[in-house]
Structures are given as C-alpha cells and as structure tokens.
Amino acid sequence: MRFLFLGDIVGRPGRRAVKELLPPLRAEYDPHLIIANGENAAGGNGITRKTADELFLSGIDMLTMGNHVWDQKEVYDFIDREDRIIRPANYPPDTPGRGYAIRCIDDNTKIGIINLSGRIFMQPLDCPFRLLDHLLPLIKKETKVIIVDFHAEATSEKLALAWYVDGRASAVLGTHTHIQTSDERILPKGTGYITDVGMTGPRDSVLGVQVESVISKFLSLRPVRFEVARGPVQLNAIFLEIDQERGTTEVIKRINIIKN
Amino acid sequence: MRFLFLGDIVGRPGRRAVKELLPPLRAEYDPHLIIANGENAAGGNGITRKTADELFLSGIDMLTMGNHVWDQKEVYDFIDREDRIIRPANYPPDTPGRGYAIRCIDDNTKIGIINLSGRIFMQPLDCPFRLLDHLLPLIKKETKVIIVDFHAEATSEKLALAWYVDGRASAVLGTHTHIQTSDERILPKGTGYITDVGMTGPRDSVLGVQVESVISKFLSLRPVRFEVARGPVQLNAIFLEIDQERGTTEVIKRINIIKN
Amino acid sequence: MRFLFLGDIVGRPGRRAVKELLPPLRAEYDPHLIIANGENAAGGNGITRKTADELFLSGIDMLTMGNHVWDQKEVYDFIDREDRIIRPANYPPDTPGRGYAIRCIDDNTKIGIINLSGRIFMQPLDCPFRLLDHLLPLIKKETKVIIVDFHAEATSEKLALAWYVDGRASAVLGTHTHIQTSDERILPKGTGYITDVGMTGPRDSVLGVQVESVISKFLSLRPVRFEVARGPVQLNAIFLEIDQERGTTEVIKRINIIKN
Amino acid sequence: MRFLFLGDIVGRPGRRAVKELLPPLRAEYDPHLIIANGENAAGGNGITRKTADELFLSGIDMLTMGNHVWDQKEVYDFIDREDRIIRPANYPPDTPGRGYAIRCIDDNTKIGIINLSGRIFMQPLDCPFRLLDHLLPLIKKETKVIIVDFHAEATSEKLALAWYVDGRASAVLGTHTHIQTSDERILPKGTGYITDVGMTGPRDSVLGVQVESVISKFLSLRPVRFEVARGPVQLNAIFLEIDQERGTTEVIKRINIIKN
Ligand SMILES: [Fe+2]
Ligand SMILES: [Fe+2]
Ligand SMILES: [Fe+2]
Ligand SMILES: [Fe+2]
Ligand SMILES: [Fe+2]
Ligand SMILES: [Fe+2]
Ligand SMILES: [Fe+2]
Ligand SMILES: [Fe+2]
C-alpha cells in the first residue's frame, strides 16, 4: 500500500502549496491515503472548519495535529464529530476529539493512524511510549498497517520511540520542528522512520513565520506578533510503501517540492 | 575555497568513522580546511587531549564544541593553549578557551570560524545575535570567509540567526541535534545554511547512545547510565565552496556516508 | 530610612487592597518611599496608564515590573517617559523604559531602585549577576541606599544573587512566585533579603487567578482563559529600615494583611 | 492527632539538625508521627541505608522523597523492602519502591501518607491530580487522615493541587524549593496547606549548598561541583493537628529553629 504524509501545513501559503503541488504528486505516487499534519493550517495556529475543508477538498484524507490543536477555539465545535482529524492521543482521557483512527480503503483494507505528542520541552502529556504499548495491540486486531505521527521537539525522544516500536508500527514519522531531516530509513524490524517530515508552507520564512518578526523576537525577548510569511512555497512530505500483510515499510522516500 | 564540516563526532565509533571515512572524502573534495564538532568525542561527552589529538591526526584541522565542552575536566588543562579548538563564544567573558579563531591557509588566505550556542531549551548564555554583530566586523578586518557553527536545539533559533547574518557570514551550520536535516540552501545574500549537519558516530543508536539505555530512560524517567553504541558507523558532513573575494557560499552539499 | 515594598499587585482586587490597606500601613510605618511590583496590575497581566495612575494615587511612589511588563500593548506609550516605573534592567540594551531609577526624597536623600529578572525557567535575558557588578558602582556614586527587586522563579537564583551582592546592595527582595516566603533576614554584611515578598490581590485564588480555571488547565493541559479571582484580598509586603550612611538593612519585617 | 513534618533534610548538617533539634520539638508537640522529606539526606543528593537509619534513630518515623530519590544507586538495594520510605507516587507503574503508605499508630489509628512530584519545570511523571483521584478513595477505605507531600517547583501547581483536593486530603504540604513559605492556612473544606515546608540543613547556604560554588555556577554557566555548606543549621517544619474522625486539619503551624 502506498501513502503520502505531508509535514505541518502552515497558513494560506501552506494550503495553496497543497492545492497546487499535491495533484501531480498524487498522479506520480498513486497513494491509497494522503495524510497531513494540519496543526498550523489556520493562519499558522490551529485549524478551523473552513481550512480543514479546504484541505480535504485538495485531496487530503486525514489530518493529524499537535501542540497547536486548540489554538482556534472553534475546533471544539467539530473535533468530536470529525473523524478525519486526530489530535495527540496522549492528552488526558476526557480530551475532546480522538487520538487515533482506523480508516477503511475498501472492504479488506484498513489503516491505523495514531497521533502522539512528545514531552521533552513540551507539555507533560501521558507517556507516549506506554500509550503505544496499549494502542498498538488494540489496532492490530483490525490491521497491521499502522502509521504514527510523533509530534515532538527532541530528536532523542523521536528516535527512541521509533526504535521502541520497531516491528510493531509500520512507520513513525516525526513532525513539529518544521524542518525536514535527511535520516529517513527502515529500522531493522521494518518500521519506516524519519525524525521530521518538515513543513508545507512559505519557504523564505522561519518555520512558516515572516523572518523579520522572528528575528525581532530573538533580539528583543519581548512578545512579537507573528505573521505567516509570503513568497515561494514548499511542500515537504514522505512517501511510504507498506506491505499490507506484514505491516512493514518497504519503501520510504523524502519529498521536497518548491514553487515560486 | 573548499571546506568540509563534520557533525558532532561521538565517542570511539565517531573517531573511527573519521579515521576510515575522511581520507576518501578528502581525496574527493580536496578541502582547504576540515572542521568538525568535537563536543562528544570522548566517550560521548566532552573532549580529552588524547581524543583531540587523534582527530587532528586523522585530518581534522579545527574542532568546534558545544554544551558538552566542559564534561571532561581535563579540558581545562589545554583549552587555553590549544588554538585549534573553539567553544561557544557566548559563554561569559572570563570563560577559558576562545570562541572564534582565524586560521591562515597561506599568506593571503584566512578563514574565520565562530562557535556559538543557542539559548532556547539551553543555558542562558549571552545573546548569539548581538554577539555576531560584534564579532563579524572584527573578523571581517582580516577575512571575508567566516563559518559559524551554531550549536542549538530549536530550529527557529537556528533559522532566525542564519537569516539575521545573511550576507554577513559565509555560512551558518547548525549542530547539536545529531540528526542531519535536508534543508541545506544558500540564502538570498549568499550565506550557506543547514539546520543541522548531523552526527558522526554509531548509526544504530539514539544520537550515538546505545538504544536500550535511552528507551529505558524515557520509560522510567530515572537516571540511566548512557554508553556509546556499537555497530555500523556514519559520517555526516557538509561540503562548502566559498567565494574568497565575496565571502559568499557558492556550493553547499550534504554528505552522509555509512560503513558497516 | 524606612521603606514599604508590596508584592505583585494582581488586577482590580489587588488595586483595591492597596487603596484600602495601604493608608493604615503608611500611618504605622511612616515610610520615606513606597515601592510595589505592578506587573500584574491590569487584569492580571501587565500595566496600563489607568491602573498605574490608580496605584500612584493610592500612595505607591514607584512601580517595578517583571516578565509580564509587555502584556498590555499600551505600556509602550508611556514607559519611556514615566520615571516612576522600571522594568527588568537585564532586557537587551535597546529595550523601552529603564531598568533602574534614583529617587530623591529631599536634597540630601537619594534612593536607588533596580529591577532585575531571573533566568532559570524564564527568558534568557542578560546575566543579572554581571549587570549588578556594573550598576551598583554607578548608583553608589549617588547613594548607598539601593533596593533590588529580583523577579525570579528559582529559589536558588534568588538566594545566590543576594549572597553575591551582600554588603553591596541594601536589600534584595524577590518577587514573581506570588507566594510570600518566611525566610526574611539580614545577610552577614548587611543586605536585607527575602526570597519572595508575595502577592497583593485575591486571597482565595491560585496566584491571583480564579481557582477552577487553573485546576482546569492542569487537568486538561489545554489553553484555558484565566480570570482574576474575587473575594477576600491580601496585601503582602516587606518593611525595611535602612541605615542611610552605611546602606545596610537594620530591620526587615514581613507584612501580610487580609481583608474580607 | 498531631504530626510534625520536616522540610528537605540536607546532608550531614541536616541530619545533625534533626538529631539535636527534634527531641525538644517532640517534647513540645508530642506528635503521633514524625514525617520528613529525605531526598537530600546523603551528601545533599539522595539517600543511603546509613543516612536513612540515622534519621529513623533520631526519631523520624517516615521519609518522603522527591526528584533526587535515585541519586544514590544503593537506594535500589532497600527501597522495595523499606516501608518507611516513599517516593513520588506518580513515577511510572513499574518503578521500585512505593508512592504511599498507611501507617498504624495503634489498632484504631491509621494514617495515609502520599508522596507526589510536580511536573512544571520537572520530569513529565504521571498527572498528580488524576493520581490523587485514584489514590484518595483507596486510602479512605482505611483512614480519613491523609497527608500529601507535594514535591514541586511551581507555586501555581502546588496551590492548584491543594485546592483540587480541599476536603479530600487532610493536608497538602509542599517541598522541593528548600525555602519555607509563610502562607500556611486551612482551606475552606479543611485541608491544611503550605506551599513549601522549607529546608532542614545549613542556614548560610543556597538551599543547603555552599554559597560560593552556587554563585560560581550562575556566573560561569559551567558545571560546578556542589558541596553541602557548613556552619549554623536550621530545622524547618510544620506542625499539624488533624481531626481523626473528619480528617480535617484543625491547626497548622510553621516551625523554624536555628542553632549555631
Ligand atoms: Fe507545526
Ligand atoms: Fe507543533
Ligand atoms: Fe553533540
Ligand atoms: Fe550539544
Ligand atoms: Fe507577578
Ligand atoms: Fe512574574
Ligand atoms: Fe530537596
Ligand atoms: Fe527536590
């Protein structure tokens, strides 16, 4: 089975990048499912009904989230009913929305997708390692194909989690740093891995944000209003080919497309 | 002018990778100077006289450091006299060692190398942005070729600093996360940039450390003794070609070599 | 000379506490100057022209600030011209406002007041220790009476800074945690010290904020809107008697008044 | 029922303070049980068989711990069998030792003691709020007298947790900052509370550590070896009187004794 996974989509430029750059990718890779991290889809922070729908219309099948999931208050209006959006599963038990989903491609084909947040330099959510020990067998009852979006800051936590579930999850794809890493690989027992898929949004920016404002923040150490940057866009993604029977990644390929 | 810059060298496997993999690289790229980050050279933490000399013998011309610079107490015995080692320049004024160096290749050819530490999720050293405003003109009196090793955790701080000195430094090369990124580029005014050069050391590891011990730390949240991992090694590096007259990067190329 | 220093004033209840509880205190202690930390004066975050004036009218002579100083955007309109408000001196050089002030009580009587921010678990401002080495001799040219508001989180940083300037500053008074400590003392060389002066605002609260909302934040780990609490108020303060000739603290006394 | 609870005992001076200052306190307050935080008992970090026994011999009945619990490796040799020592209950499930204890004073008198760690600026242990929802009913089956040592850094987390269990636990006593606060009170539904009980150890110190070494660390931002300070000692404690039938605190009193 073939998958595309797009790194954090940032604001209007990110959504434009999806609209314009996804169709040719789709034609090239013919994926069974297209997943994207959407935590920055609405103006750089969080997601709205409108931005989510725009991304679904552009061909995204499934949106994962991260620490910015609650930034747009209206997310509470639809996250409980919208089964194409998942937020980190390691939020406390009563959190709105869901932390994983099982998607049916056809009668015999199901795919599990899990969203998790790291804890190093981040919020003290529940332990993502222990939560995977709980979730993986649960989902395995339905499918061996399981893709994890691990939304985390520290490279050590991302790598450790991937090694921890090597052979148990099909792929662990890191998000959150907005910078694509070049360490994509298949771990010894078959788990596809990359530390960070990267960012889909304005290229001449600091993680999608207008450069001058971020520099001003580092220089002044005072609150600065961040605006999404303009200019050329990039689409960062991962292509995965997963063996449906064994649940192992057979091909992992990094994608980085730039458009003026 | 041509340069090789190697990402954090971790322990004995990292030093072995340098010894075995650097000669062919040298033959291929014929660099004027080879720089490497050596903060993890001695058993994964810090540097010793012996490990530094081993790296110099293997062909490294210059070692930069990072947050681990003081981990081996004996560093205090030689850091003041050893002008081939620099530590982050933004430590307080009376710190042993130096934060930048000017190396002479021949009578007309000088190269400035600056080591800086980030502050996000790290120690509150002096502001690296303001320090560069001070250091760059100082070094520019002697040479336009200036390479900055920015040893930092947060991708935002690394990118912001690079944009901040675009056109003023020849290159800003990130280190510290031990994971190579795929975002190498030349910024509009000529500064070569990559968020992280990566790691030179044991490949099947978490940032150079034996996998099980790191997993055990994340699961237990208790102190765990870390050992450098064994097995296949990798050498992560950047090749730079810099215009000597203008001080701009003309070519930046990512290198990742694996050896069993 | 006699001083009153009030801990962080939080919102309307804090301002009310000042208005109603300060007059009797003033009558009792007859202070030459009344200083207060005002970083939470406006609705719990930052300060406005109106809230500052209200506090000055209530008898406060001087306001110090902290990490919340920039929360109300209008502070930029007056902080440069208002010499009765100081913000942490260790913000970068070009920061609006000033970090210390010298107040004249009469022709022969001057008082230096310095505001500093800690760095542990806070923003990486300039080193407060080194900055004091610079500021103290500067102010000493005019007066030996120097009071430092050290706005910091970590008890270790507060105590260390006080010991560092023992005999050089008249007093180091901690703020920011909103909880009064019971460790007020005079250090061996004469510097009056307390780790935290406490909070002036609603007593049945979490640091001034309505209890349920803070609990909800800790339970949910999601963004929660904080409102200043209602109900009984408290005024937390320190009374200092400082020897004008020698600049040493002779009396330090903790004050905690509660009013329904 | 009457209780004494001693703040973090630091090193040899702290153990000496207990030996010399506890007997008169015991005579004065005649407590049914004496609890102390022992996480710094052995040379400032962790606990050993010998230092624990010394404290038990001096009259301590029960030791709670904190983030330093694992600093002395030999703790693993006895923590599983030693039921007079508890460590934070919110470590992961398989952690050695126990997180709470039920002590019998006589046939009809039991006391529950719970040790918890905060998470703000600390390790991401399990949620202490949710854990209390689980532990309190469990212990209530045996006794209504329940004392919680909440070992935490942030004042907000400590206060919020106390309000959260007001009327459900007999007392929430904060530890970890090593500075006694002056905010002891009984919350509306009967829970006794103080943000921090303080420190039992060398008075002229930074949290028990020799002053110059801590200043040197703040100035240099490099690793510095910490030694426990010498000189006069202090004993910081809380006296509690709890209604056995209702489980509410009737009296809470702060104790601070200094001895040259
Ligand atoms: Fe993001
Ligand atoms: Fe994120
Ligand atoms: Fe490193
Ligand atoms: Fe590092
Ligand atoms: Fe405050
Ligand atoms: Fe503050
Ligand atoms: Fe402690
Ligand atoms: Fe502690």
Of B92, B219, B220, the CB nearest to D221: B92
**Ligand 1 center–CA A8 separation, angstroms:** 5
As given in the structure block, the two tokens for residue D170 are 């007999």
Binding residue numbers of A for Fe cation: 8, 39-40, 67, 151, 176, 178
**Who contacts C206 (Cβ-Cβ below 8 Å, separation ≥6)?**
C214, C215, C229, D156, D159, D160, D163
Dihedral sign for Cα A9, A14, A17, A18, please.
positive
At residue A207 the predicted structure's pLDDT band, cuts being 50, 70 and 90, is very high
pLDDT beyond 90 at A164? yes
Which chain C residue lies closest to B129 (C-alpha atoms)? C92
Residues of chain A whose beta carbon is less than 8 angstroms from a beta carbon of chain D are 92, 119, 124-127, 130
Confidence check: pLDDT of A107 > 90: no
Inter-residue contact C171 to C240 (CB < 8 Å): yes
What does the alpha-carbon distance between residue B9 and residue A252 come to, in Å, rounded to a whole number? Answer: 27
Q: Are strands B146-151 and D192-194 parallel, antiparallel or unpaired?
A: unpaired
Contact present, A79 and A102 (Cβ < 8 Å): no
Residue A73, classed as helix, strand or coil, is coil
Tens of pLDDT, residues D106-140: 888 999 999 999 999 999 999 999 999 999 999 99
Q: Which among B94, B95, B221 is the nearest to D92, CB-wise?
A: B221
Q: What is the pLDDT of residues D165-224, one digit of tens each?
A: 999 999 999 999 999 999 999 999 999 999 999 999 999 999 999 999 999 999 999 999
C256 to D155: CB separation less than 8 angstroms, yes or no: no
Q: How far apart are CA A127 and CA D131, in angstroms?
A: 14
SS3 sequence of D140-176: HCCCCCEEEEEECCCHHHHHHHHHHCECCECEEEEEC
Chains with 3 or more CB pairs closer than 8 angstroms to C? A, B, D
**Residue D5 pLDDT level (bands cut at 50, 70, 90):** very high
Task: Domain ranges for chain D, please list them.
Answer: 2-259
Which stretches in chain C have pLDDT values below 50? Answer: none
Sign of the dihedral defined by the CA atoms of residues D53, D58, D61, D66, in that order: negative
Give tens-digit pLDDT for A189-199: 999 999 999 99
Name the residue type at position A256: N
Residue B157 pLDDT exceeds 90: yes
Ligand 5 centroid to Cα of residue C200, in Å, is: 10
Query: Which residue is it, tokens 């002395």?
Result: D72
pLDDT tens digits for range D8-58: 999 999 999 999 999 999 999 999 999 999 999 999 999 999 999 999 999
> Is D92–A126 a contact, with Cβ atoms under 8 angstroms apart?
no
* B190-203 average pLDDT score: 98
- The answer to whether C14 and C208 have CB atoms below 8 angstroms apart is yes
Q: Give the confidence band of B38 by pLDDT, cuts at 50, 70, 90.
A: very high
Mean pLDDT for the stretch of residues A175-191 = 98
What is the share, in percent, of chain B residues with pLDDT greater than 70?
100
What tokens appear for D23 in the block?
Answer: 């007997």
Q: What is the pLDDT of residue B10?
A: 98
Q: Which residues of D touch B92 (CB under 8 A)?
A: 219-221
Residue with tokens 């709670």: D64
3-state secondary structure of B70: coil
The per-residue pLDDT for C107 is 82
Mean pLDDT over each residue of chain D, to the nearest integer:
98
Token pair, residue C185, equals 């003392």
Write out chain A residues lying below 8 Å of C72, CB-based. none
pLDDT of residue A232: 98
Q: Contact, C32 vs C3, CB < 8 A? A: yes
* D interface residues, C as partner, C-beta within 8 Å: 121, 127, 129-130, 153-157, 159-161, 163-164, 177-183, 188, 195-196, 198, 204, 206-207, 211, 214-215, 218-219, 254, 256
Give the pLDDT of residue C108: 86
- What is the least distance, in Å, from the CA of C220 to any CA of chain A? 6
Given a cut of 90, whether residue A106 has pLDDT beyond it is no
Enumerate neighbours of D (3 or more CB pairs within 8 A): A, B, C
Q: How large is the average pLDDT for residues A210-235?
A: 98
User: What pLDDT, in 10s, does the model give residues B99-135?
Assistant: 999 999 988 899 999 999 999 999 999 999 999 999 9
Q: What pLDDT does B154 receive? A: 98
Binding-site residues of A = 8, 39-40, 67, 151, 176, 178
Residue C74 annotated as binding site: no
> Quick one: pLDDT at residue D40?
98
**Mean pLDDT within A89-111:** 95
CATH topology of domain B2-259: Purple Acid Phosphatase; chain A, domain 2 (3.60.21)
Query: What is the tally of helices (H) and strands (E) in chain C?
Result: 6, 14
This model of the complex carries an ipTM of 0.98
Residue C106: its pLDDT value, please?
A: 86
Rounded to whole angstroms, the Cα distance separating A113 from A110 reads: 10
CA-to-CA dists, residue D94 to A120, A162, B58, D89, D148, angstroms: 21, 22, 46, 11, 21
Structure tokens given for D257: 């004794």
User: Which residues of B belong to the active site?
Assistant: 68
- Residues A49 and A51: their CA atoms lie apart, in Å, by 6
Q: Which residues of A are catalytic?
A: 68
Instruction: Give chain A's contact residues with C (Cβ, < 8 Å).
Output: 70-71, 91-92, 94-95, 123-125, 219-223
Note whether C136 and C169 are within 8 A (CB): yes
Say whether pLDDT at A126 is over 90: yes
* B55: closest CA of chain C, how far (Å): 34
**Residue C176 distance to chain D (closest CA, Å):** 10
Q: Which two tokens stand for residue C125?
A: 């401002």
Shortest CA distance to A14 belongs to which of A22, A24, A25? A22
Q: CB-CB: which of D92, D125, D130 is closest to A92? A: D130
